[in-house]
Amino acid sequence: MSDDPAPSRDPAPRRAAGAEGVLPADLLERPAEEGARRLVRARALRLGDLARDATRGSVPPEAAGREVEELRALLRLLRPHLRGAVPAADRRALGRLGERLGTGPEGVAPATRPGHAARRELAALRRLGRRLGRRLSRLHIHRHLDDPDPPAFGDALAAALERLADELGELAEEAPPHARRLPELLRELSGVGAALAARVAGAAALSEEARAALRGLGTAAAVAAPLSPEGGRPFGTDPRVLTALAARARAVGGSLRPPAPPREVERKFLCRALPELPPEAEVFEVEQGWLPGDTFRERLRRVRGPGGEHFVRTLKLGTGAVRVEFEEEIDARLFAALWPLTEAARVRKRRYRIPAGARVVEVDEFLDRQLVLAEVELSRPDEPVELPAWLARVVVREVTDEAGFTNLELARPARRGSG
């Protein structure tokens, strides 16, 4: 009975030459389902290429066997995010073909072309790798608009590695460690580490520390993996080694998480007048203008204060108390070139910045209308706010969620000069 399942009826997708298996630089930031498919597809295509090369005798069949083990480890790790994209028949075929080819020692040089039986297995493996590549080349995601955003692939990978690390830590506390699960877990960590190092480290924008951690995870797990009793060595590994390996797996997981975008958390209040400010208040003269746009609006700002004159460009996403904010300082020449484009949407204000315990309060006195607003910066959205007495006396109400009191809305021509 053949180990090669029935051919897929999925038509081969049209691809640009050389595009097969190429992973995007922002792989870790893509949705988890997309990232899982892309990574497994890249490994499946590589498996097909290795099987072809082994058939020709340029690499040993064991190299394809090792690739099978790494691919199977990835399939187990990412199974929740693949959502049945790899049929059970294909997973079983991978297991059987991998067992027959074996993994062999690392670095084995090919001596001769494989025999007839090995060539038959390699041909089946090549077809299987190419078929998996076709199956995983498309992704249709259906989401309800009210559903939360899907996790990023980096977060999904990190969570999966942390689960493996937790299980490894639990096994390290057993005396002796569980004889059956421990070698399976270590082989899985070894395969995952090797697969991630081979593909993710080369595609994603990772720090050098993250790349080194990825490269080391597979090697460390492989070294720690106990052999079977038949291999001449009893099950069991020093718990200190297992604990250290679990810590390394967690560290690798943390390095794969995409950095969270900078967030601005603040509450805004309407004031009836400018409050009596404490003597420690710092004063800044602020001009803000917004460049034209439909999907989003970029803000330019000139600030004159105790530290001199500064020019800043900002992009904010979201509304209400929590918003994502990207900001960078620019030079006077770029500001002068862009500022005329903001003529239709500008505000002028005097900002008073006052420390209030662990927080900072900013009071904006608008110079182009009669309006005073106060903002309180917070570390988290659910942090309770108790206004200082000097500010509470003049507050009319909170306007954090009122769109009419955003700076961009106030800058619109119909609002400028009104008060």
Check which CATH number belongs to the domain holding 353 and give it.
2.40.320.10
What are 142's two structure tokens?
């259906």
Task: Examine the domain organization and report whether 114 and 48 are in the same domain.
Answer: yes
At residue 238, the pLDDT reads 66
Q: Is residue 398 part of a domain?
A: yes
End-to-end CA separation in angstroms for the chain: 84
Q: Is residue 389 part of a domain?
A: yes
Look up tokens 């790798």; give the residue. Answer: 129
- The arithmetic mean of pLDDT across residues 44-64, rounded, is 88
In a 13 Å sphere around the CA of 116, the CA atoms on its Cβ side amount to 0
Task: Examine the domain organization and report whether 123 and 176 are in the same domain.
Answer: no
Q: Is residue 336 part of a domain?
A: yes
What are 228's two structure tokens?
């079977």
Higher model confidence: residue 325 or residue 386? 386
> In this structure, are residues 36 and 153 in contact, taking their beta carbons and an 8 Å threshold?
yes
Domain boundary, last residue among 101, 135, 169: 135
- The CA angle 86-87-90, to the nearest 5 degrees, is 90
Q: Is residue 334 part of a domain?
A: yes
At residue 396, the pLDDT reads 96
Q: Is the pLDDT of residue 418 over 70?
A: no
Q: Which of 178, 352, 168 is nearest to 274 (CA)?
A: 352
Give the 3-state secondary structure of residue 48. helix
Domain boundary, last residue among 222, 256, 290: 256
Estimate to the nearest angstrom the gap between the alpha carbon of 369 and the chain centroid: 44
Give the 3-state secondary structure of residue 394. coil
User: What kind and span of H or E run contains 169?
Assistant: helix 153-172
Residue 365 dihedral angles phi and psi, to the nearest 5°: -100, 105
Q: Is the pLDDT of residue 210 over 70?
A: no
Domain boundary, last residue among 102, 135, 168: 135
Look up tokens 């395969």; give the residue. Answer: 191
Q: Is residue 401 part of a domain?
A: yes
pTM of the prediction?
Answer: 0.57
At residue 222, the pLDDT reads 58
How many structural domains are present in the chain? 3
pLDDT above 90 as % of the chain: 26
Burial environment of residue 179 by CB neighbours within 10 A (0 to 12, 13 to 18, 19 or more): middle
Distance CA 74, CA 78 (A): 6
Q: Is the pLDDT of residue 13 over 60?
A: no
At residue 352, the pLDDT reads 96
Torsion of CA 38, 42, 45, 49, to 10 degrees: 170
Q: Is the pLDDT of residue 69 over 70?
A: yes
**pLDDT tens digits along 111-121:** 445 677 788 88
What are 410's two structure tokens?
């106030």
Q: Is 21 left (phi over 0), alpha (psi -120 to 50) or beta?
A: left
Task: Examine the domain organization and report whether 385 and 405 are in the same domain.
Answer: yes
Q: Is residue 143 part of a domain?
A: no
Q: Is residue 21 part of a domain?
A: no
Residue range of the domain that includes 317: 263-410
The two beta strands, 395-398 and 322-330, are: unpaired
Cα distances from 413 to residues 140, 333, 338, 348, 408, in angstroms, run 43, 26, 19, 13, 10
CB within 8 Å of 60: residues ≥ 6 apart: 54, 104, 108, 109, 110
